[in-house]
Amino acid sequence: MAQNRKKPSKMSFFRPIAWCVMLAAGGLCAAESATALPAPPNAPVADAKSSQQEAVIPASVVPKVDPTPELFADALKALQANDLQTAQKKLELVAVSNHPDLSCRAELLAIRLIAQRGDVKTALSRLELFARRPEAGNYRYRRDALALWIAAKSGDAIAFNREWTAIQQNDLPHPDAEVASALDLEIERCLAAKDFASAANLLSLSLEYRTSDAERFAALRREFELRQDPVALAALAARFVSWFPDAEETANIQLLAADKLWKAQRFGEALKLWKSVANTGDYPLALRQLAFEAAAIAAEKSGDDNTARTMYQSLIGTSNGGFADKMKFGAYLLRSHDDAAAEALFRELWINGDARQREVAGANLLQVLIRMKRTNDALAVAAKLRDSKEFGRYAAIKLAELQEANQDLAAAREAYQYLAAHYPQDPLIGHVAYRIAFLATQLKLPTAKAELAAFAEKYPADPKAPRALLQIMQISGNADAAKPYFAKIAERYPGDPLFESAAIQQFYFEMAAAHDADVIALSEKYPKVFERDEFKAAADLARLHLYLAAEEWDDAKKLELSSKAHYAATDSGAEIAFVCGNIESTLGKYQEALADYNRAAQLRPVGELGERARGRIADMNYVLFAETQETSYLEQAEKGYRLLAETSTFPAIRLEAFCRLGRTLELSARTLKSENHSEESKIAYEKSKIAYDMALVCAKEMKARNQPIEAIWCYRSAYGAIRIRMRSSRRVEREAALRTIAVLEELKLGDYYEDFAALRRDINRKMTNNSKKR
C-alpha cells in the first residue's frame, strides 16, 4: 500500500446503488470493447454520388444488431438515477439474453436488487439457480461476494459466517467493495447486539477489502474505539503508524493507546509509544511536547532515570528553555530526591526570572532547602517570600515552623502571631492559634493557661481543642484545678481519642489527692476507659480505703478477698496487699496480716510502700511476741526495724524505725532481765538508748532540711531515752536526760511541753537531793 498518504476524509459505510453501478461497470466496458457495433439501419446516406458508387448489399447478408449491450447500459443508467423499477426490468431482460457475459452480470445485479427490496428468499433461490449455469464458474467470486452481502443484509449470522469462510478459502480478489459493504452490514449488526469484540475483529479483517485509504482509516479508527485491551490498542497504534505515518490523527491514536497502557500499568509499553510520537519530527510540536512529558513520567514510573531526564531535557529544548517546562523538570528532581540539582535549578530561576517566576521558583526552592535541612538558608528564603501575594501565606507558615524546629521558640511564636494577624480567615487559623498558645506553655509564660483556655473556647471544633484542654489539666497539676477542664472534654469530645487520656489523667490526679470517692466515680462512669486491671485495682483500693475509714469491716473483708487474688501484677497490687494487711491487723488476725505485708513487700521491693510494708512486718512480729511470748517473733521484729533504720532512704521511715527499734530492744532487755541474764539485759538497754537517741538525731536532720516530722515518734523516743537514763542514779545520765528534753524542745513539735517541763523539774529535784546527801 502506498505510504505518505494525506489525511483521509470521512466516508459512509453503505451505499448500495453505487456498489451496483461499480460492480457492473467493468462488465459493460468489456462488452463494448468486445463487439464492434455497426451503424443503425436507418442511418442517413452521405450524398448521392457516393451512394451511386457504393455497391448494394443484399438484405440477407446485413448483420443483425445485438440490443443487449445497449439494454444493459440503460439498466445501469437507471441504477444511477435510482430508478430501481426500470433498472430491474431491463436487467431481467439482459439476464435472459444469449449474451454470455452480460447476462451473468445482469442476473447478479437483479438478484442484488431483489435482496435489497427485502425479498431474501427469492434472491437466494435465484442465486442457487445461477450457480448451476455453465458460465457461472467465471463469476464464482462475484457470486460469493453477493451471497455474503445477502446474508449480512438479512441479518443471518450463521449464513454470513458460512459465506465468509467460503470467501476466505476461495481467496476472493481484493480490495472488493461488495465484500466491504457486507462486512459493514455485519459490523452494524454486531454493534446493535453489543458484541463489540466481534465487531472489532470484523473491522480488522475488512481492511484488506477496503477500496480506499479513507475507508481503511475510518475502519481502523472505529476499531480503536471498540478495543479495550491495551495490548491490542498498542498493536493498532503500530498499524496506524505503518499505514499512515504522517497523519496527525496517527499521533493522537498513539497517545490514546499509550494512555490506556499507562492506566493498565504497562508503563514500559506506554513509554515506547510516547517516545515514538515525541521523536517523530513531522508531528505537530504541541503533540510532541505532550509526548515528551508523558514519556518522562512513564520512564520515572518505570525506574528509568536516564530516559526520564532525557525526555524532560528534550521537552525544555523544544520550548527553548521555557519556565513552565523547567519547573516540571524541577518537580521531577524533587520527586527523585536529587535535591542538589533541584536546588540549583530553582535558585537559577529564582535569580533570573521575572517577578512572578521568582516567586514560584522561590516557593519550590524553600521546599527543597527545608528537605535538605538547610534551616538558615530556608529561613532567609521564607523571610523574602513572606510578602508575596501568592506564596506569602506558605512562606509565613514555613518561617514559623522552621523557627520552631530551630528551637527559637520566641521567634516562632511571633511568626505564628504574624500569621494570625495577616490571615485571620485562613482555614489553618485554628492551628495557628493553638501553636501560639502551645509555645506560651513551652516558654513558661504566665499567660499560657489562659491562652490555651481561650483557644479551646474560640475554636471548639478544631481538632486541637481537646488537646489544649488536656494540656491545661496537666499544667494545673492537681485534681481540683484539673476537674473543670476534664468536665469540658467529657462533655464536648467524648469520642475523641484524647478523652481517654484526659480521663486517665484525672483518675491519677484523684488518686494522688486520695480522693477515693472520685476515683471510684470515674471508674464507674467510664467503664470502657478503665476496664484494664490496673484501673480496677486502683478503684478497689479506693473502696478499701473508704471501708476502712468507715470501719465497714464486712464489706472491706469481702473486697479484700477478691482484690487480693486478682490484681497482684498491677501497680496497685502491692498497695492492695498493704491495705489488706491493715484490715487483718485491725481485726486482730496478725498471721494473715503478716502474710499480706510480705506480699506487698515482694510486689514492691523498692520504694516507700515496700519499706513501709517491711516496717509493718516487724510490727506484726512485735505484736505476735506480745501475744505468744515467743522470743523468735521479737528477734524478727528487731531485725526488721534495724534494717529499715540503717538502710531506708525515707527519713520519716527511718525516724519511726529507730523509735520502734528502741522500744523492741527495751522489751528484749526486760525479757533478758526476767530470765536472769543481767549482762545481756544491760547491753540491750544500752542499744535501746542509742536507738532512741538516733531517732532524735534523725528528727534534727529532718528539721534542718525543712522536712515534715511526725511528732509522736520524737516524743516516744525522748520518753524512752529518758526512761532508761532515769533508771541510773548517775549524774551524767540525768544530765543526758535533760539534754534529751532540750533537743525535744528545740524541735518545737507540739503541745507536750508541760509533760516534759514536769519531767525536767523531777530530774532537777532528784539531782539536788543527791547533792545534799553528799
* Region 308-321 average pLDDT: 86
> Which burial class, exposed, middle or buried, applies to 285 when counting CB atoms under 10 A from its CB (0-12, 13-18, 19+)?
exposed
Tell me: pLDDT of 151 over 90. no
pLDDT given for residue 576 in this prediction: 87
pLDDT range class, residue 61, cuts 50, 70, 90: low
Helix (H/G/I), strand (E/B), else coil: 14 = coil
Q: Which pLDDT tens digit goes with each residue over 111-137?
A: 889 988 888 889 888 888 888 888 777
If phi > 0 it is left, if psi is from -120 to 50 it is alpha, else beta; for residue 37 that is beta
CA distances from 219 to 185, 228, 351, 552 (A): 13, 16, 54, 98
The answer to whether the beta carbons of residues 114 and 126 sit under 8 Å apart is yes
pLDDT range class, residue 267, cuts 50, 70, 90: confident
Least Cα distance to 377 among 407, 359, 399 occurs for 399
The answer to whether the beta carbons of residues 545 and 516 sit under 8 Å apart is yes
State the amino acid at position 458 in one-letter form: K
Tell me: pLDDT of 771 over 70. no
Tell me: pLDDT of 51 over 60. no
CA distances from 139 to 101, 109, 145, 180 (A): 9, 12, 10, 18
* Region 176-203 average pLDDT: 88
Least reliable range by pLDDT among 82-96, 251-265, 362-376, 660-674: 251-265
pLDDT given for residue 773 in this prediction: 55
> In percent, how much of the chain has pLDDT > 70?
90
pLDDT given for residue 35 in this prediction: 31
State the amino acid at position 765 in one-letter form: R
Q: What's the mean pLDDT when you consider all of the chain?
A: 84
Crossing angle of helices 355-371 and 375-385, rounded to 10°: 150
The residue with greater pLDDT, 174 or 32, is 174
pLDDT given for residue 14 in this prediction: 34
- DSSP at 749: -
Strand ranges, E, within 653-744: none
* Number of Cβ within a 10 Å radius of residue 250: 24
Least Cα distance to 641 among 574, 603, 694, 588 occurs for 694
Crossing angle of helices 196-206 and 213-226, rounded to 10°: 160
Find how far residue 526's CA is from the centre of its chain: 31
Helix ranges restricted to H, 155-212: 157-170, 177-192, 196-206
- DSSP at 728: S
* Number of Cβ within a 10 Å radius of residue 582: 18
Task: Please give the helix or strand (H or E) that residue 174 lies within, else none.
Answer: none
Tell me: pLDDT of 33 over 50. no
This prediction has a pTM of: 0.53
Q: Which pLDDT tens digit goes with each residue over 413-435?
A: 999 999 999 999 988 899 999 99
* Number of Cβ within a 10 Å radius of residue 121: 11
Least reliable range by pLDDT among 214-228, 605-619, 698-712: 214-228
What is the rounded CA–CA span in Å between residue 473 and residue 480?
10
CA distances from 526 to 399, 465, 482, 504 (A): 43, 21, 17, 10
Q: Which pLDDT tens digit goes with each residue over 198-247?
A: 888 888 888 888 888 888 888 888 888 888 778 887 887 777 777 777 77
pLDDT given for residue 10 in this prediction: 34
Least reliable range by pLDDT among 8-17, 160-169, 315-324, 586-595: 8-17
Least Cα distance to 571 among 544, 533, 614 occurs for 533
Torsion, CA 579, CA 584, CA 590, CA 596, rounded to 10: -40
The label of the residue with cell 446485413 reads 62
Percentages of the chain per state (helix, strand, coil), in multiples of 5: 75, 0, 25
Least reliable range by pLDDT among 62-71, 191-200, 358-367: 62-71
Grid cell, residue 771, equals 547533792
What is the rounded CA–CA span in Å between residue 689 and residue 697?
12
State the amino acid at position 659 in one-letter form: C
